[in-house]
Structures are given as C-alpha cells and as structure tokens.
Amino acid sequence: MSDPAGYGNLIVYSDGAYRRYDDARVGLLTHGLQYGTGCFEGIRGYWNEDEKDVLLFRLHEHYERLTNSARMMLMDIGHSVDELVEISAELCARNEFRGDTYLRAIVFKNLETIGVKLRGIPDTTAIIAVPHKKYYEAGNGLRVGVSSWRRVDDTAAPLRAKVTGLYANAALAKSEAEMNGYDEAIMLSHDGHISECSANNLFLVRNGVIYTPDPSQNILEGITRRTVMDLARQELGLTIIERSLDRSEAYTADELFFTGTAVGVDFANSVDGRPIGDGTMGPITRKLMALYDDVVHGRLPQYRSWVTPTYARPSRLAATAAR
C-alpha cells in the first residue's frame, strides 16, 4: 500500500489501543465518512529545546470542548478528560517526537451502514499525532478576500461543536479564496456581519482597541482566541470589544490578525485588495505573537499550567520503560 504522507509507521490511538497508523483503517461505508458524523479537536505540541520536551498546549480545554461536541452529536468518547490528556502525552512519547507536533483527536460514528441518524450507532475515538507543518506559507502577511459563501448558522448545526461535516463550508470558502488569488477567506454570518475565516478566528485593531466578532456571529469560540484575548488584557492592558463587525470595518482597520490552533497568530496585509495599515505586521499583532510564542513554549511561569509535558511525566515514563 502506498504511503505518500509517510504516516504508515506512526503510532496512533484507536478503539482503546495503540497501533500502527496502517492498522487503524475504516471502511468505505463508515457512517462518519459518508455523512460527516464526527467531531474533532486540533491540538498543538511545541518543542522546548532547553527542556528537550514536547509541550502540549491547553490539552484540558481542548478535551473539554471535544466532550461537549460529542454530547451535542449524541456520541460517547469513552474516556474522561484526564484520560485523554494522558493518552495524548503517551502517544507523543511513543512516536519519539523531537519537534513541533500536531494532534488530531476525533470521535466518529463507526458503523458501516446506509442511513442518516445519530442514535443507536456506535462510536470510535482516535488520536493521531504528526510532525507539525506550517499552516500558511505567506511570511509577509496574508491576502484575504471576503467569501461569497456564508458561515453556516447555528440554527442549522451546532457551531460550538467542531463537527467534521461542517468543514465542507470552510473548504468551499477557502478554495474560492485561493481560486481568486487570495490566501484566506473571511466568511460573513447570515446577516452579513464578519464571522470568521475558514478555520481561524479574526481580530481587527482600530485606534489601539481590539475588536472581534461576538459568539452570536456563528463563530467557533476558539481556544487560541480565548488565549490571545487573555494575554491582550492581562499582559498588554488592552481593551477588547466583542460585537458584530461590518465588512467595511475590516477595510479601515489599522491591523487585522487571526488566531487558531494550527496557525497560532498571523496577520493579514490586505482585504479584498485593500491594504491593512501599511501592509506590514502591526505593533499589537507583533506583541501578541511574541507573547503567544513564549506561552506555548513554556517560557512564562505564570502560564505554565497551560502546557502539558510529554517526556517529563515520571509515572508514565516508568510504565513505558517496563514494557
């Protein structure tokens, strides 16, 4: 079997056991594949060179959200949050990662059947860890376009859950943006206000104040979003206002930046061909990006509780050494 991504020999966690990636396959008629009946989390691990450890960022918060997503989708994860944290650290250790890492935790309806429903169909929980690759390649900022595809409304699907099937909406917007020569898309809510990007939350800065769409605009309430808001308030003393934002406000912003697990913090240099500020990274974005980098690498003691070490876990390492 070909393995162009090179994942075949990775160790993954699936159906209660650690196994090779190639041994954890699903059938073509699997309900989660056919109907998008799954929910997931993306989690980052950051390599700390001084400690020689992969630090997993805000694991508890991610797995609390996964648990809530599963509840909305009538799914049973089969593990507590604390168990998922331990499994994730063990998984990274078994793969012997020595660099930045990305974890994808997923719960999906696993029955091979035809028929749309949620109740009465068993679930599989899996966690896959891979070396992290940079999400964006645009080092000088992103060219962003407003999408013709509207963000799905919460009356159509639970947007506080990361449901796999809902990402067809994001994929359409991102693909349209790329076909139009942009790097990323801004999606509007059903009433025409700014919602979010294809897979990131959005912030804009005007006159030293940070603005971001409030949850009523069908955003995913991102964990990185919350982190950056906390850092802006606590470390920089900045004001953050959550409210509906018009498209024209993005055109006249001093700075516009994004947050998300895969991307961290990154900025836009233009929206619909209109430059943001002078087209370079603004001072507030720069400070938040540096702060975030320090936090996720475990350099700031006051936020150390937000990271979970992979190798510096004595009880787990002792158990691993005995096998």
Q: Are residues 238 and 158 in the same domain?
A: yes
Q: Report the pLDDT value the prediction gives residue 7, as an integer from 0 to 100.
A: 82
Say if residue 261 is in the same domain as residue 231: yes
Same domain? 188 vs 242: yes
Question: Both tokens of residue 6?
Answer: 């090179």
Residue 255 resides in a domain: yes
Owning domain of residue 216: 142-303
Annotate 101-139 with b (16+ C-beta within 10 A) or e (fewer): bbbebbbbbbbeeeeeeeeebebbbbbbbbebeeeeeee
How far is the CA of 35 from the CAs of 121, 140, 151, 168, 208, in angstroms?
Answer: 13, 38, 19, 11, 45
Shared-domain flag, residues 153 and 281: yes
Domain end marker among 68, 103, 131: 131
Q: Are residues 47 and 107 in the same domain?
A: yes
User: Are 123 and 153 in a shared domain?
Assistant: no
Residue 6 lies in a domain: no
Looking at the domain assignment, is residue 113 inside a domain?
yes
DSSP states of 123-171? EEEEEEEEE---S---TT-EEEEE-SSPPPPTTTS-TTS-BGGGHHHHH
Residue 252 falls within a domain, yes or no? yes
Of 73, 101, 131, which residue sits at a domain end? 131
* Whether 103 and 201 share a structural domain: no
Do residues 117 and 51 share a domain? yes
- Cβ atoms of 93 and 121 within 8 Å: the answer is no
pLDDT at 323: 30
Considering the domain architecture, whether residues 210 and 292 belong to the same structural domain is answered as yes
Examine the domain organization and report whether 196 and 107 are in the same domain: no
**Domain of residue 258, CATH code:** 3.20.10.10
3 domain residue, yes or no: no
- Tracing tokens 């699997």 back to the chain, one arrives at 30
* Residue pair 129/24 in contact by the 8 Å Cβ criterion: no
Any domain includes 164: yes
Q: What pTM, to 2 d.p., does this model score?
A: 0.93
Cα torsion angle, 94, 53, 5, 107, sign: positive
Tens of pLDDT along the chain (323 residues) come to: 456 567 878 999 998 999 999 999 899 999 999 999 999 999 999 999 999 999 999 999 999 999 999 999 999 999 999 999 999 999 999 999 999 999 999 999 999 999 999 999 999 999 999 998 877 776 789 999 999 999 999 999 998 899 999 999 999 999 999 999 999 999 999 999 999 999 999 999 999 999 999 999 999 999 999 999 999 999 999 999 999 999 999 999 999 999 999 999 999 999 999 999 999 999 999 999 999 999 999 999 999 999 999 998 654 533 433 23
- Our count of domains for the chain comes to 2
CATH code assigned at 25: 3.30.470.10
Q: Are 108 and 157 in the same domain?
A: no
Classify residue 94: in a domain, yes or no: yes
Asked if the structure places residue 231 within a domain, the reply is: yes
Residue ending a domain, choose from 131, 160, 186: 131
> Mind telling me the catalytic residues?
162
Residues 120 and 185 in one domain: no
